[in-house]
Structure 1
């Protein structure tokens, strides 16, 4: 077996960098713990960027995957398969939407959602000049369509020109949205809770205002729940807290608990917009990934994960507020449920790195000045207490 350093050097020479990686090579996980190739244990409060909702090495989830491997991995979407039908039934029941299309990732789910918006508008007037309103400081993915509605010039600049007809409003500022609406606008897309942009939940008045605006102008409301959905806010989907139903929703991350699967869902008029052949995928919705999604959805209901998140979210909020009150370097706390952020007066990169290397605590950032807390949804109070203790050891030297 190679040493940790040998793995790192091999990766540096052969793999494209998605991010600048931390100097750790993880080997396996169990519950809310990760273990590196040297057997060192880490407490995980990043969950693979909000993916591992059920934690690591869940026996029931693992058995479902093993059973499907022995049955059928792939057939293509030219044929029906049982797990896709069952997963579709479960996610539509949980969301109250009408139609679902399974994808390979969250980015692809956004691409499908944008196509629904354009198709819906085209069905009305057969024109090609429709516009979409997105939000500044948003993040929807890195493919061309998703990148085009991502409100961060840092991500966009090297790849311009992107899709035409995209305008950006200020998140939680309804007037700024209204100013951009015209007779060409076909949709508004936004995260219900901005994740990469710094953990900003939508205000209730804002979200309801955007919904009303879409209704008044026959536009589609697209809500991106890729990070904040699947129970993370204390509701199955964050928009359910507000009683504001989207026309189109995107979901991924925790849907597969580590297996790459996403989906876009549509309701009502948006559900009927697309025709066969308008969108397709070879791998999307195959028996293996939908067996994973099916088991995740089953276990969420069986174990009352959403209720657990409500309880743990309140406890995490209390503890993060304690840290914010105690350490002047922390300037605020935001978030809901188990998607929370602490904002700092200094860049957080060194704090996150120290937590990993010195305290064996996995944290991730959201922008330059925010530490993001998106642990596995199965954490207990003892894990929150342990995290706080470890983080305090670092904060003592930053205040």
Structure 2
């Protein structure tokens, strides 16, 4: 009987993992336990925006390791406050709350909206969009507009209503629903790398302004330079009331942030919300060094140029391979829609020692480091082209 029972892994089976164990990384490259080199176009799913083990971040964390690791948020944390000041100075927001992940940042945003709504006598209803992804906690799953993410976790939390994305009719329906806030990604990452249309955003902002609806922009994936600007909202010419960040903020160290306008952030008072580890000295050191590098170097300019170069070569490949249906995205958040299952093509890509991820059933997502070089893009082209040729022949 015992022999027939499948041995359980000590780690819960919540991920469909690639059969690779990486032990070292630097820049755009990872090496497995056998010393095999892989070109990484995932960046830890848009997290290692400066590449693996960036020198300035490594030095800042190593220095902090010798001084202080943790005190809790019962005390002032100097580099946390410096990180908050720097985020505020480079954005349109006024205050920051620090946590450990994107889901926690979105959770904080949801709680802040509810606190603000209660304070102002409004119904705490949040409008979100179909195919969105906002996290894996119960509140953020409830906010997410994908049934595959929500399935099995019913009953979901009340207080969310979902509308079609990039749909003008949906804005009229949203207006009629009278939510206290709208929550959206400006590029739906997990939902298929789908950018918001400028005219649709213009109308959404207009409706929110007229109806006194707060705007929460989830920049967990698009933030910290991924689209070629520090924040994706800068491409669209408006100011959100609440902004959420994580992933690229810490270059791989767990840190998230929720930023808010002062009139909204004031709804939080001591005891309203908290995090034991959020913004601790180590995470804040990583965040501050990462943000400094992004704002004081040519990394963002490189992301724009590299995105254009990769986009151009992908369009050329699209003309050669009929199963490539469309190329979309912004900066170095790029989606390749194919006629077929993305996982099947990823198998061929992995054989070329190139790492990519999917974004839905039929989209390949490219997320290279923002400081990727022209030479590394050339290497990507060779590897990716070979994978496409083998996929076509199969």
Provide the TM-score with structure 2 as the length reference: 0.95
- In the alignment, the residues of structure 2 paired with residue 318 and residue 193 of structure 1 have an alpha-carbon distance, to the nearest angstrom, of 20
State the shift of 1:368 in Å.
0.8
Alignment of 1:186-335 (within 5 A): 186-335=180-329
2:93 to 67, 74, 97: 97
CA deviations over 1:59-114 (Å, ceiling 9, x no partner): 22111101001111111111101110111111111112100001100000000111
- Structure 1: unaligned runs, 5 residues or longer: 1-8
- In the alignment, the residues of structure 1 paired with residue 96 and residue 56 of structure 2 have an alpha-carbon distance, to the nearest angstrom, of 25
State the shift of 1:182 in Å.
3.9
**1:47 pairs with 2:47:** no
What residue number does 2:3 align with? none
CA deviations over 1:263-301 (Å, ceiling 9, x no partner): 000014323222221111111011110111000011112
- In the alignment, the residues of structure 2 paired with residue 93 and residue 19 of structure 1 have an alpha-carbon distance, to the nearest angstrom, of 38
State the shift of 1:184 in Å.
4.7
Question: What SS does the corresponding residue of 2:174 show, helix, strand or coil?
Answer: coil
Contact residue 98 and residue 268 of structure 1 kept, 8 A:
yes
**1:370 pairs with 2:363:** yes
**1:14 pairs with 2:7:** no
What residue number does 2:381 align with? 388
What residue number does 1:107 align with? 103
What residue number does 1:37 align with? 33
**1:58 pairs with 2:54:** yes
- In the alignment, the residues of structure 2 paired with residue 62 and residue 29 of structure 1 have an alpha-carbon distance, to the nearest angstrom, of 12
Question: What SS does the corresponding residue of 1:249 show, helix, strand or coil?
Answer: strand
- Structure 2: unaligned runs, 5 residues or longer: 1-5
Contact residue 113 and residue 124 of structure 2 kept, 8 A:
no
What residue number does 1:119 align with? 115
CA deviations over 1:317-345 (Å, ceiling 9, x no partner): 11111111111010010101000011000
- In the alignment, the residues of structure 1 paired with residue 14 and residue 246 of structure 2 have an alpha-carbon distance, to the nearest angstrom, of 18
1:131 to 125, 129, 137: 125
Provide the TM-score with structure 1 as the length reference: 0.94
State the shift of 1:131 in Å.
1.4
Pairwise CA RMSD: 1.5
2:346 to 342, 347, 352: 352
State the shift of 1:198 in Å.
0.5
Question: What SS does the corresponding residue of 2:152 show, helix, strand or coil?
Answer: helix
Contact residue 348 and residue 390 of structure 2 kept, 8 A:
no
State the shift of 1:204 in Å.
0.9
- In the alignment, the residues of structure 1 paired with residue 49 and residue 168 of structure 2 have an alpha-carbon distance, to the nearest angstrom, of 33
Question: What SS does the corresponding residue of 1:395 show, helix, strand or coil?
Answer: helix
